[in-house]
């Protein structure tokens, strides 16, 4: 089986709706884990895995595949959801999240599950690893693209900026970072905990190519991802690209949206039922 590629926005929106339901269904039996981040990034992950990414779930080790490095490993449920939906593994595994013996570790572990490129959890380390992969690809003359998914909060880690410097120095044009700019972190709003604005100005000053989008607008996400990939393939020796994706944490479930309290907790049975009902209602409204 090769990769499923969806080209219509409504098909992608329906897939993102499936992914959100998967996230809720995964977190309920897990009884711990993060809800807001995965829901907020469901559109981006869907656009990536079901439209833009060069990959083959039947051959997860194919050397020509695009690499996906998830730096903020705590949003693992959204990664597991798209990998399962794409056919990397049996979706029955969703219910084993965070349980003893499961390949769906609380934070992703390289080698535990097909499609997982790196182990992550401690923040601020993914971009560096993605830089290493991008350097290796350039040394070997390979044409694949390295995607690195990061959070805004992990830009408070100094190491992130060490990697930002290195990527610009080595002109890692084959590297695309997608930052989840959702303005929340565990203790509150990012701009209260540690002001990060202006992210775009900072990245421009560090010699990156900057694209800003509404990360919950599927059409905008597809356009930005496609443009970034085309640029990465044709200009691998140019400035690295960042897509700053403004997302609504908890997107799709009204009582979770923009609530930092939902950063690090799972829904209980009642909340999951309400959430799934809301998602079902939204699904019906997606235009054909």
Partner 1 sequence: MTTSFALNPSMKLADPFAPDAKKAPTRDGWGQALAEMGTENKQLVVLSADVSESVRTHWFEKEFPSRFVQCGVAEQNMASVAAGLAMEGKIAFFSAYGVFSPGRNWDQIRVNIAYNNLNVKFSGAHAGITVGPDGATHQAMEDIALMRVLPNVCVLCPSDEKEANKAAKAAAARKGPVYIRLGREKTPVFTTDATPFEIGKINVLADGSDVAIVACGVPVFEALKAAKNLAASGVSAAVLNCHTIKPIDKKTLAQYAKKCGCVVTAEEHQITGGLGGAVCEALADECPVPVVRVGMPDQFGESGGGLELMKHFGMDAAGIEKAVKKAMEKKEKNR
Contacts of 55 (CB under 8 A, 6+ apart): 3, 49, 62, 65, 66, 86
Q: How many CB atoms lie within 10 A of CB 261?
A: 13
129 binds partner 1 (CB under 8 A): yes
Nearer of residues 22 and 117 to partner 1, judged by Cβ: 117
Q: Which helix (H) or strand (E) covers residue 44, if one does? A: helix 42-47
206 binds partner 1 (CB under 8 A): no
Tell me which of 25, 46, 125, 177 binds partner 1, using CB under 8 A: 125
177 binds partner 1 (CB under 8 A): no
Contacts of 47 (CB under 8 A, 6+ apart): 12, 218, 221, 222, 225
Q: Return the C-alpha torsion angle 199, 144, 51, 117, nearest 10.
A: -80
Nearer of residues 35 and 160 to partner 1, judged by Cβ: 160
Q: At what angle do helices 9-30 and 269-285 cross, to 10 degrees?
A: 170
Single out the segment in contact with partner 1 by CB under 8 A; choices: 1-9, 31-39, 158-166, 213-221: 158-166
Q: How many residues bind partner 1, per CB under 8 A?
A: 30
Tell me which of 29, 103, 121, 264 binds partner 1, using CB under 8 A: 121
Nearer of residues 35 and 71 to partner 1, judged by Cβ: 71
54 binds partner 1 (CB under 8 A): no
141 binds partner 1 (CB under 8 A): no
**Contact call for residues 15 and 49 (beta carbons, < 8 A):** no
151 binds partner 1 (CB under 8 A): no
**Contact call for residues 206 and 168 (beta carbons, < 8 A):** yes
Q: Annotate 136-150 with b (16+ C-beta within 10 A) or e (fewer).
A: ebbeeeeebbbbbbb
Binding to partner 1, residues 87-116 (CB under 8 A) = 109-111
61 binds partner 1 (CB under 8 A): no
Nearer of residues 5 and 110 to partner 1, judged by Cβ: 110
Binding to partner 1, residues 63-82 (CB under 8 A) = 69
Q: How far is CA 49 from CA 42, 85, 105, 124, 169, in A?
A: 11, 9, 21, 23, 29
Contacts of 60 (CB under 8 A, 6+ apart): 88, 114, 115
Nearer of residues 67 and 251 to partner 1, judged by Cβ: 67
For residue 157, the minimal CB distance to partner 1 (Å) is 9
CA 129 to chain centre: 16
Tell me which of 61, 101, 140, 270 binds partner 1, using CB under 8 A: 140
Positions that interact with partner 1 (CB under 8 A): 69, 109-111, 117-122, 125, 128-137, 139-140, 158-159, 162-163, 165-166, 170
């Amino acid at each position: 089986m090769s990769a499923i590629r969806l080209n219509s926005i409504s098909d992608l929106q329906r897939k993102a709706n499936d992914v959100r339901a998967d996230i809720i269904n995964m977190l309920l039996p897990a009884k711990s884990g993060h809800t807001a981040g995965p829901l907020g990034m469901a559109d981006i992950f869907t656009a990536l895995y079901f439209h833009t990414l060069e990959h083959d779930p039947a051959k997860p080790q194919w050397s020509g595949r695009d690499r996906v490095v998830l730096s903020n490993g705590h949003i693992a449920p959204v990664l597991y959801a798209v990998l399962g939906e794409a056919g990397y593994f049996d979706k029955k595994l969703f219910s084993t999240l965070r349980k003893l013996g499961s390949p769906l570790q609380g934070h992703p572990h390289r080698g535990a599950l097909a499609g997982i490129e790196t182990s992550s959890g401690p923040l601020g380390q993914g971009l560096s690893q993605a830089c290493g992969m991008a350097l290796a690809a350039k040394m070997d003359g390979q044409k694949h693209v390295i995607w690195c998914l990061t959070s805004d909060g992990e830009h408070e880690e100094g190491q992130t900026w060490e990697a930002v410097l290195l990527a610009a120095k080595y002109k890692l044009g084959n590297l695309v970072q997608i930052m989840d700019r959702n303005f929340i972190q565990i203790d509150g709003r990012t701009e209260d905990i540690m002001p990060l604005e202006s992210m775009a100005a900072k990245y421009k000053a560090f010699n990156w190519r900057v694209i800003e989008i509404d990360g919950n607008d599927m059409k905008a996400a597809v356009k930005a991802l496609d443009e970034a990939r085309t640029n990465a393939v044709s200009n691998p020796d140019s400035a690295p690209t960042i897509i700053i994706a403004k997302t609504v944490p908890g997107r799709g479930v009204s009582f979770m949206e923009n609530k930092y309290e939902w950063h690090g907790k799972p829904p209980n049975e009642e909340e999951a039922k309400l959430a799934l009902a809301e998602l079902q209602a939204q699904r019906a409204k997606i235009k054909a």
